[in-house]
């Protein structure tokens, strides 16, 4: 179905024919707009930004590019096309037709999943709110705002499901999504990583690489859901998500490139004096963002995850590619746990280990990106490798949350941790240094000294295109 842009809320869900739902969403819309005004990007709201807007869910061309002021962005509700006769692929209802409505007994669990997903979207916008002032170029500024408006759209996607399928409770949850605040002491966002700060662009690029990638894996698991409207919603969100991870992967790649150039030009690994970011310091930022993102998958053993799977609410990544019975009642899965002061591998019931199963897929994906950065470092003739730290390092959720683990995976005492953590995580001083490099560059075609220009522009535009009209 085509997207109806004549509507106040662009949509491909036939909103014009459902007056009750349309009214409810039109009542929620001003709340969203005031949230955006209060918590969206600081400054720049009156500026024209070269943004893509979703205009269909056609794989061949779903976006149109043009100048838009962010408050005028057409946030809408887009579901991927329904698959014909879609069947449930896993869990107790495997083989039954996918659901078009929420089964009464699963309402609570499904609502909780949708609320948790929905909560991360505005949280990330709040975290990135101040970054516009220090962007390394107009190209990067535009990418930041693109990510921000699309996370806003992802909030719309979840608010739609809550309004359309969860009655009064859903409306209340959709309102609460606009009230929680990242980092707030009394009304924080739900998941840990979404209450951390994103104070500088190195953090932002790490966040889009590591934390948006959690989004990819969670959305892909929810795209397997027996609840078809959730599945279709997540499938379309994944199309947008690819750009967010592109921003992270190419962004960090450009920092790596610039650092390598400075290292060679000045024959030193310590490029801070020359306005660059040492590879060692990048490793510390990587350690931080990777570990808080690993926490987002939940505990290694989780009855929540087992229930979500058996109920058919949340599957595995690419569920149908798994060569098993898709019910996992008797299957086992090897996971990493802490046992008597050692980090060990143990076989556990596969159903309980689904969070770890998803985390494993995520880790492999992260490793692929890191190895691409390492290739660039090697090609520059520099003997250094960025590494993913051990999965137990710096964890706040799961088996390793109560112990201290080195990036190499060795269990250490609190005292050893206290003596060494400054070697592994950015110190306040180092964060301050990175902050000191963040001076906004706003002349078209100019790029800050700590990051290389991108290989190409957005939508075939030049590198000196006026991505944001200031």
Give the shortest CB-222-to-ligand BYC separation in angstroms: 6
In 10 A of CB 151, how many CB atoms?
25
Q: Kindly tell me the sign of the dihedral angle through the C-alpha atoms of 387, 391, 395, 401.
A: negative
Give the shortest CB-116-to-ligand BYC separation in angstroms: 4
User: Residue 179 corresponds to which tokens in the numbers above?
Assistant: 């009230």
User: Residue 450 corresponds to which tokens in the numbers above?
Assistant: 């700590």
* Interacting partner of 223 out of Fe ion, ligand BYC, none (Cβ under 5 to 8 A depending on kind): none
Alpha-carbon distance of 435 to 430, in angstroms, equals: 8
Among 140, 173, 212, 399, binds ligand BYC (CB under 6 A): 212
The reply to whether 203 sits near ligand BYC by the rule CB under 6 A is: no
Pick the closer one to Fe ion by CB: 290 or 447: 290
* Binding segment (CB under 5 A) for Fe ion, from list 34-42, 240-248, 264-272, 354-362: 240-248
User: Residue 454 corresponds to which tokens in the numbers above?
Assistant: 């991108």
The reply to whether 52 sits near Fe ion by the rule CB under 5 A is: no
Token pair 């190895």: residue: 371
Alpha-carbon distance of 249 to 257, in angstroms, equals: 12
Q: Containing H/E element for 49?
A: strand 48-54
Token pair 């170029």: residue: 137
Pick the closer one to ligand BYC by CB: 3 or 220: 220
The reply to whether 296 sits near ligand BYC by the rule CB under 6 A is: yes
The reply to whether 215 sits near ligand BYC by the rule CB under 6 A is: yes
Strands 332-339 and 63-69: unpaired
Alpha-carbon distance of 347 to 184, in angstroms, equals: 39
The reply to whether 305 sits near ligand BYC by the rule CB under 6 A is: yes
The reply to whether 353 sits near ligand BYC by the rule CB under 6 A is: no
The reply to whether 154 sits near Fe ion by the rule CB under 5 A is: yes
Among 11, 12, 53, 124, binds ligand BYC (CB under 6 A): 124
Pick the closer one to Fe ion by CB: 215 or 398: 215
The reply to whether 447 sits near ligand BYC by the rule CB under 6 A is: no
Among 117, 231, 283, 287, binds ligand BYC (CB under 6 A): 117
Among 299, 366, 434, 438, binds ligand BYC (CB under 6 A): 299
> What does the angle CA 71 – CA 75 – CA 80 come to, to the nearest 5 degrees?
165
In 10 A of CB 190, how many CB atoms?
16
What letter does residue 415 receive in the DSSP assignment?
A: H
Alpha-carbon distance of 410 to 389, in angstroms, equals: 11
Pick the closer one to ligand BYC by CB: 173 or 295: 295
Pick the closer one to Fe ion by CB: 119 or 430: 119
Pick the closer one to ligand BYC by CB: 302 or 406: 302
Size of the chain in residues: 470
CB 160 within 8 A of CB 77: yes
What letter does residue 453 receive in the DSSP assignment?
A: P
CB 286 within 8 A of CB 386: yes
User: Residue 112 corresponds to which tokens in the numbers above?
Assistant: 């909780």
| Closest to 454 in 3D by CA, of 257, 281, 279, 265 | 257
The reply to whether 218 sits near ligand BYC by the rule CB under 6 A is: yes
Give the shortest CB-366-to-ligand BYC separation in angstroms: 14
Give the shortest CB-102-to-ligand BYC separation in angstroms: 16
Alpha-carbon distance of 386 to 373, in angstroms, equals: 8
Among 11, 76, 121, 391, binds ligand BYC (CB under 6 A): 121
Pick the closer one to Fe ion by CB: 53 or 337: 53
Alpha-carbon distance of 364 to 369, in angstroms, equals: 9
Give the shortest CB-248-to-Fe ion separation in angstroms: 10
Alpha-carbon distance of 116 to 154, in angstroms, equals: 12
The reply to whether 110 sits near ligand BYC by the rule CB under 6 A is: no
| Closest to 140 in 3D by CA, of 263, 49, 271 | 49
The reply to whether 295 sits near ligand BYC by the rule CB under 6 A is: yes
Among 22, 213, 216, 244, binds Fe ion (CB under 5 A): 244
The reply to whether 448 sits near ligand BYC by the rule CB under 6 A is: no
Q: Mask: binding to ligand BYC, 137-166, rule CB under 6 A, as x and -?
A: --------------x---------------
Give the shortest CB-124-to-Fe ion separation in angstroms: 7
Helices vs strands, H then E, count in the chain: 11, 7
φ/ψ of 333, rounded to 5, equals -145, 135
User: Residue 162 corresponds to which tokens in the numbers above?
Assistant: 């809550």
Residue sitting closest to ligand BYC (CB)? 298
* Binding segment (CB under 6 A) for ligand BYC, from list 13-21, 51-59, 213-221, 422-430: 213-221
Residues that bind Fe ion (CB under 5 A): 121, 151, 154, 212, 215, 241, 244
Residues that bind ligand BYC (CB under 6 A): 113, 116-117, 120-121, 124, 151, 191-192, 211-212, 214-215, 218, 295-299, 302, 304-305, 314, 355, 397
């Amino acid at each position: 179905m085509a997207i109806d842009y004549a509507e106040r809320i662009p949509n491909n869900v036939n909103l014009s024919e459902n007056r009750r739902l349309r009214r409810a969403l039109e009542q929620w819309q001003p709340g969203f707009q005031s949230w955006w005004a209060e918590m969206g990007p600081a400054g720049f709201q009156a500026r024209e930004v070269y943004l893509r807007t979703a205009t269909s869910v056609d794989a061949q061309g779903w976006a149109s590019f043009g100048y838009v002021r962010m408050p005028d962005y057409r946030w809408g509700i887009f579901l991927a096309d329904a698959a014909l006769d879609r069947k449930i692929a896993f869990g107790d209802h495997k083989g039954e037709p996918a659901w078009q409505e929420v089964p009464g007994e699963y309402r609570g669990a499904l609502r909780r999943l949708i609320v948790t997903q929905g909560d991360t979207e505005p949280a990330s916008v709040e975290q990135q709110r101040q970054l516009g002032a220090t962007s390394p170029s107009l190209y990067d500024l535009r990418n930041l705002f693109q990510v921000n408006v699309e996370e806003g759209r992802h909030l719309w996607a979840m608010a739609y499901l809550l309004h359309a399928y969860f009655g009064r409770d859903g409306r209340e949850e959709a309102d609460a999504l606009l009230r929680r605040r990242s980092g707030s002491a009394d009304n924080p966002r739900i998941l840990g990583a979404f209450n951390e700060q994103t104070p500088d662009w190195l953090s932002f690029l790490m966040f889009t690489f590591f934390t948006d990638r959690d989004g990819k894996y969670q959305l892909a698991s929810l795209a397997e859901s027996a609840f078809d409207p959730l599945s279709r919603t997540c499938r379309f969100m994944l199309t947008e998500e690819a750009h967010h991870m592109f921003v992270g992967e190419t962004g960090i790649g450009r920092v790596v490139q610039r650092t390598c150039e400075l290292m060679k030009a000045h024959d030193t690994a310590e490029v801070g004096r020359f306005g660059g970011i040492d590879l060692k310091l990048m490793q510390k930022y990587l350690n931080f963002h990777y570990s808080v993102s690993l926490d987002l998958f939940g505990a290694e053993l989780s009855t929540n995850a087992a229930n979500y799977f058996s109920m058919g609410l949340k599957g595995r990544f690419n569920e149908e590619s798994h060569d098993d019975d898709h019910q996992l009642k008797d299957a086992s899965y090897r996971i990493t746990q802490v046992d008597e002061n050692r980090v060990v591998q143990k076989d556990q019931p596969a159903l309980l280990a689904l969070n770890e199963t998803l985390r494993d897929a995520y880790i492999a994906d992260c490793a692929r990106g890191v190895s691409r950065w390492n290739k660039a470092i090697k090609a520059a003739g520099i003997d250094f490798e960025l590494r993913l730290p051990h999965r137990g390092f710096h964890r706040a959720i799961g088996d390793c949350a109560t112990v201290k683990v080195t990036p190499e995976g060795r269990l250490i005492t609190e005292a050893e941790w206290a003596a060494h953590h400054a070697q592994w995580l950015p110190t306040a001083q180092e964060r301050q240094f990175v902050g000191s490099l963040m001076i906004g560059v706003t002349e078209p075609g100019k790029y800050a000294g700590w990051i290389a220009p991108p290989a190409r522009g957005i939508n075939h535009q030049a590198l000196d295109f006026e991505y944001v009209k200031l």
